[in-house]
C-alpha cells in the first residue's frame, strides 16, 4: 500500500521519475516545468537516484542529449513546457523516427506571442504530428500515474516510441492536491528493467544511427512508423490493466462520465474535465441527460473507440484549450474525424476556452450545456467555432 501525500503535479511527476531512476536526464528549465526538474535535480544531488543529469544550454540541446543517451542504450527522461517544446521541434521528430522511448512530462503552457507563462494546450497540440505518444492528465494523480505507465508503454518491445505526459501548467503543476504514491519497490517492479534495443554502446556490434534515407526508402520507413502507432492502443490498455491490478486506479484510452444514457455531451481534456463533471451533475439533477468524454490518449487518437462511445448522442460540444488559427480547434478536428464514421451524426459545436491560463469557470460549462440543450432540440448549429470566456 502506497502513501497518501499532499503535493503539486510537478512534485508528483518528479517523484515518479525518482522512483523510476532513469539512466540519463538532460534538461533545461522553463516555466512551469522548471520546478519538476529542479526537484529531480535535488534527488540527483542528494544521491537518491543514480541518474546522470546533463545540464544543457537549451531545450534543443536537451532533446539532442536525450536522443544520444537513448541511442547509447539508456532509459531517458526530460521535461519541458511551451517555448521549450517549440525549440525541441526538430529533435522531437528525430526521437520518434529513430524509435527512442524517451519520456517527457510536458507541463502545458501557452505559446508566444504575446508572452504568457500560463496553462493551455498550444504546445502539446503543436507537437501532435511529431510521432510521439501523448497522454493528457486531469490532475496530479493522473500525471503521476501516467508518467509511470508511459515508461512501460514507450519501452514495450512492440512500440519503442517516445511519449509525452501532459498536465495543465500551474492549474495542475503548481496546485497542491491529494495524491496516492505507489511504493518504490512496486514502481520499480512495474516498469521493469530497461531493455536496450540496438545500443550504440554495444561496441562488439557497431552500428550507425541517423542515416540519410532518400526517395528509395523514406516512404517505407514512414509506413513502418505509422504501423507501430496502430499497435499503441492495445499496449496502453494492457499497461492500464496491470496498473489497475497494482493500484485499483482504472485508466483507458479515454474516460467517460455519465455518458452511457446521455443525449448531449462535452468532450474536453485535462483539468477542465473536473469542473465540467461538477456542472454535469447539476444538470443531471435538473433532468438534463448530459455526459462527458475526456480523451486521455491524444496520440495515437482512438477514433473508432471514441466514435462508439459518442454514437448515441444528439449534440456534442468539443472544448479546445488551443486554437488552430484559420481552422477548428485541434480536438474538434479529431472528434469530427471520429464522428465521420457514424451513420447518424450528432450536431457538433466547438468552443475555444482558457487560453493563456484564463480560468475555466462553472458558468462557461453552463453556457455550453445550455447551448447543447438547444442544439439537441433543434438539430441546428448556428456557429461551429466560438471563443468562450472572452472579455467583451
| Residue ranges binding other proteins (CB under 8 A) | 97-100, 160, 197-198, 205-211, 213, 217, 220-221, 223-224, 227
Q: Is 288 exposed, middle or buried (0-12, 13-18, 19+ CB in 10 A)?
A: middle
CA distance 20 to 149: 11
Q: Which of 169, 201, 171 is nearest to 23 (CA)?
A: 201
Q: Which residue is listed with cell 440543450?
A: 373
Give the helix ranges, DSSP H, for 231-342.
Answer: 232-247, 272-285, 303-310, 330-339
Which lies closer to other proteins via its Cβ, residue 121 or residue 160? 160
Which lies closer to other proteins via its Cβ, residue 211 or residue 287? 211
* Minimum CB–partner distance for residue 206 and other proteins (Å): 4
* Minimum CB–partner distance for residue 149 and other proteins (Å): 22
* Minimum CB–partner distance for residue 175 and other proteins (Å): 38
* Minimum CB–partner distance for residue 23 and other proteins (Å): 18
Which lies closer to other proteins via its Cβ, residue 56 or residue 196? 196
Which lies closer to other proteins via its Cβ, residue 64 or residue 270? 64
* Minimum CB–partner distance for residue 160 and other proteins (Å): 6
Which lies closer to other proteins via its Cβ, residue 71 or residue 315? 71
Tell me the three cell numbers of residue 257.
Answer: 462520465
Q: Which of 327, 328, 307, 326 is nearest to 318 (CA)?
A: 328
CA 46 to chain centre: 30
* Minimum CB–partner distance for residue 199 and other proteins (Å): 10
Give kind and range of the element (H or E) at residue 71. Answer: helix 59-72
CA distance 379 to 116: 38
Which lies closer to other proteins via its Cβ, residue 176 or residue 197? 197
Amino acid at each position: 500500500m502506497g502513501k497518501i501525500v499532499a503535493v503539486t503535479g510537478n512534485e508528483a511527476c518528479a517523484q515518479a521519475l525518482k522512483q523510476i531512476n532513469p539512466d540519463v536526464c538532460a534538461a533545461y528549465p522553463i516555466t512551469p516545468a522548471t520546478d519538476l526538474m529542479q526537484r529531480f535535480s535535488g534527488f540527483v544531488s542528494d544521491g537518491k537516484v543514480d541518474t546522470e543529469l546533463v545540464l544543457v544550454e537549451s531545450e534543443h540541446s536537451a532533446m539532442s542529449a536525450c536522443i544520444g543517451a537513448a541511442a547509447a542504450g539508456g532509459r531517458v527522461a526530460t521535461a519541458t513546457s511551451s517555448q521549450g517544446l517549440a525549440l525541441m521541434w526538430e529533435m522531437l521528430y528525430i526521437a520518434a523516427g529513430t524509435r527512442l522511448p524517451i519520456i517527457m512530462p510536458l507541463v502545458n503552457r501557452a505559446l508566444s506571442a504575446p508572452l504568457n507563462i500560463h496553462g493551455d494546450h498550444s504546445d502539446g497540440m503543436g507537437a501532435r504530428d511529431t510521432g510521439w505518444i501523448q497522454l493528457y492528465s486531469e490532475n496530479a494523480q493522473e500525471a503521476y500515474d501516467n508518467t509511470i505507465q508511459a515508461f512501460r508503454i514507450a519501452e514495450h518491445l512492440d512500440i519503442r516510441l517516445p511519449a509525452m505526459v501532459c498536465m495543465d501548467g500551474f492549474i495542475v503543476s503548481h496546485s497542491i492536491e491529494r495524491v496516492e504514491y505507489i511504493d518504490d519497490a512496486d514502481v520499480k517492479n512495474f516498469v521493469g528493467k530497461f531493455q536496450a534495443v540496438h545500443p550504440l554502446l554495444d561496441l562488439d556490434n557497431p552500428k550507425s544511427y541517423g542515416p540519410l534515407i532518400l526517395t528509395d526508402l523514406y516512404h517505407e520507413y514512414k509506413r513502418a512508423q505509422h504501423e507501430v502507432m496502430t499497435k499503441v492502443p492495445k499496449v496502453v490498455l494492457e499497461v492500464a490493466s496491470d496498473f489497475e491490478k497494482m493500484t485499483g486506479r482504472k485508466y483507458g484510452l479515454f474516460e467517460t462520465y455519465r455518458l452511457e444514457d446521455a443525449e448531449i455531451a462535452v468532450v474536453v481534456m485535462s483539468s477542465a474535465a473536473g469542473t465540467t463533471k461538477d456542472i454535469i451533475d447539476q444538470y443531471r439533477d435538473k433532468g438534463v441527460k448530459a455526459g462527458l468524454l475526456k480523451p486521455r490518449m491524444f496520440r495515437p487518437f482512438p477514433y473508432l473507440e471514441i466514435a462508439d462511445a459518442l454514437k448515441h448522442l444528439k449534440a456534442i460540444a468539443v472544448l479546445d484549450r488551443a486554437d488552430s488559427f484559420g481552422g477548428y480547434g485541434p480536438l474538434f478536428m479529431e472528434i469530427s474525424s471520429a464522428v465521420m464514421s457514424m451513420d447518424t451524426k450528432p450536431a457538433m459545436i466547438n468552443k475555444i476556452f482558457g487560453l493563456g491560463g484564463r480560468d475555466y469557470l462553472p458558468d462557461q460549462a453552463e453556457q455550453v450545456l445550455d447551448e447543447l440543450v438547444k442544439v439537441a432540440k433543434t438539430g441546428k448549429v448556428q456557429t461551429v467555432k466560438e471563443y468562450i470566456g472572452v472579455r467583451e
